[in-house]
Amino acid sequence: MNLITFEADDLIAPNTLVLRDRRLQHLLGVHKAQVGDSLKVGELGGLMGHGELIALTSDEATLRICLDTPPPAKRDVILVLALPRPKMLKRILQMVVTLGVSELVLINSYRVEKSFWQSPWLSEAAMAEQLRLGLEQAGDTVAPRVSLRPRFKPFVEDDLPALMQGRDGWVAHPVLRQAGATGQPGDITTAPTQRLAPSAAPTLLAIGPEGGFIAYEVEKLQAAGLQCCDLGPRILRVETAVAVALGQLLP
Amino acid sequence: MNLITFEADDLIAPNTLVLRDRRLQHLLGVHKAQVGDSLKVGELGGLMGHGELIALTSDEATLRICLDTPPPAKRDVILVLALPRPKMLKRILQMVVTLGVSELVLINSYRVEKSFWQSPWLSEAAMAEQLRLGLEQAGDTVAPRVSLRPRFKPFVEDDLPALMQGRDGWVAHPVLRQAGATGQPGDITTAPTQRLAPSAAPTLLAIGPEGGFIAYEVEKLQAAGLQCCDLGPRILRVETAVAVALGQLLP
């Protein structure tokens, strides 16, 4: 927890914050905080600053806070991600926050197991909790928007064109190398793929499931204006692919 | 398991491979493999190719193999990493394989908890198992070299100069932003840091623990010729930082 996040409910006076839950346990157990310490705090959706710990018991911590710093600006990046398995989704939600994307769209794909869409980790409350842990890791107060698109074709035909307005679009899909590796005649193109370059331009980045998008899906994404890009000769786990691609795009 | 790895012991004839352990369970449970299927196989440390499944029972799978492809070339990158907590170490060992680094050096740092060095996950056998899982994920047969340096000063004074011979050296440490964020007068420099650029040159990359290297450690790394680089305005988890930095360096 590099930043203690709070909501209006946690304030007992305009500049006085009281913590009683896991944040208190973290202060006691990990930070080994003591009265007089100055800690980074931030209001969810609002400003960040410092809090001076003015009282501490095993039941509650009281901080006098001063908020003076806006959260870091989001990157104008929409990440379109085939729904990962629930265990990985938790880590990816936190990671996506630390990488500063403005919007995450979780979509279906042929190789996404249907059961993933039934996961309790997809509830609004469960995702909000993971996003908040990400904010506390990142030192940020504004979570990316997250939306679910459990049907691929309606997403790509009806929603994607609007999302792509004014954006560069990329799909991480190693066309040439995959063709070489599998030797399947159905592989869709021989156009060389490109490495992502640093860019501050508005961008949409699509990353497939374990095993990749199928050819039909890549064709539909290409038809919507996305270009293929390549993350190297080895097969990455989804969470590694997300960090590599967003790292390469970082201006 | 994108690649089935094996050793000479697994062969019952020069081109006949028999699997009985977790690899068999994976073939049955995840791949739902059937006689006649062609599967990617690779000999640890050697060639990769395909195996045709010629017999399958609940006790063993028999494959006729043909090895004809060298593993992907390693990147000439040495990753020097402050020892992460054991749970994260497992994931990072696998990830480092998928990112193709040639050598991993796990070092001590002020903010590495001493107990981490006692972890059973640091045994040679435990690390070899994680590296092998990484090879099976990546589609590679050659694991990076891994070494442990539990004392920072002897490593940086005695070993690092030799490792740095002929290499670009980087330490991920956001000097300016960290100075701005903490306001500590002891922060070490006001030189602007740089973003890592794609490079095929031999490189050494150092990444600190959660909380970062301390100023003394950064000074010692700088004295050995490493330059500071910056991974963005948010605080990344170690595993995310590793993927972002190696993604940025990817030529």
Name the strand (E) or helix (H) holding A5: strand A4-6
Facing residue for A98 by CB, picked from B95, B234, B246: B234
Residue B168 has pLDDT above 50, yes or no: yes
Q: Would the CB atoms of A250 and B181 count as touching at under 8 Å?
A: no
A123 vs B: CB within 8 A: no
Distance CA A176, CA A188 (A): 9
> Lowest mean pLDDT: which of A61-65, A131-135, A228-232, B218-222?
A228-232
A66 vs B: CB within 8 A: no
Residue ranges of chain A that CATH labels 3.40.1280.10 = 75-249
Q: B129 near B186, Cβ under 8 Å?
A: no
**Interval A109-156: pLDDT, tens:** 999 999 999 999 999 999 999 999 999 999 999 999 999 999 999 999
What DSSP designation does B112 have?
Answer: S
Residue ranges of chain A that CATH labels 2.40.240.20 = 4-69
One-letter amino acid for residue B9 of the chain: D
Taking contacts as CB-CB distances below 8 angstroms, the residues of chain B near A237 are 94-95, 98, 137
Q: Would the CB atoms of B247 and A251 count as touching at under 8 Å?
A: no
Lookup: tokens for B233: 């305005």
Residue A84: which of A121, A38, A116, A44 has the closest Cα?
A116
**Interval A17-35: pLDDT, tens:** 999 999 999 999 988 999 9
B136 vs A: CB within 8 A: no
What are the strands of the beta sheet with A4-6, ordered from one edge? Answer: A4-6, A38-43, A48-56, A61-69, A16-19, A11-13
**Interval B136-163: pLDDT, tens:** 999 999 999 999 999 999 999 999 999 9
Name all contacts of B155-162 with Cβ < 8 Å and 24+ positions apart. B155/B105, B155/B107, B155/B108, B156/B217, B156/B220, B156/B221, B156/B224, B157/B220, B160/B80, B160/B221, B160/B224, B161/B224, B161/B225
Strands A16-19, A11-13: parallel, antiparallel or unpaired by DSSP?
antiparallel
The stretch B174-180 carries a mean pLDDT of: 48
Taking contacts as CB-CB distances below 8 angstroms, the residues of chain B near A113 are none
Architecture of domain B75-249: 3-Layer(aba) Sandwich (3.40)
What are the strands of the beta sheet with A145-149, ordered from one edge? Answer: A145-149, A101-107, A75-82, A203-207, A168-172, A227-229
Architecture of domain B4-69: Beta Barrel (2.40)
Residues β-bridged to residue B78? B103, B204
Residue A23: which of A71, A63, A70 has the closest Cα?
A63
> How far away is chain B from the Cα of A156, in angstroms, using its nearest Cα?
28
**How many CB atoms neighbour CB A247 within 10 A?**
27
**Interval B69-112: pLDDT, tens:** 999 999 999 999 999 999 999 999 999 999 999 999 999 999 99
> How far away is chain B from the Cα of A235, in angstroms, using its nearest Cα?
5
Name all contacts of A153-156 with Cβ < 8 Å and 24+ positions apart. A153/A220, A155/A105, A155/A107, A155/A108, A156/A217, A156/A220, A156/A221, A156/A224
ipTM over 0.95: no
Q: Would the CB atoms of A247 and B251 count as touching at under 8 Å?
A: no
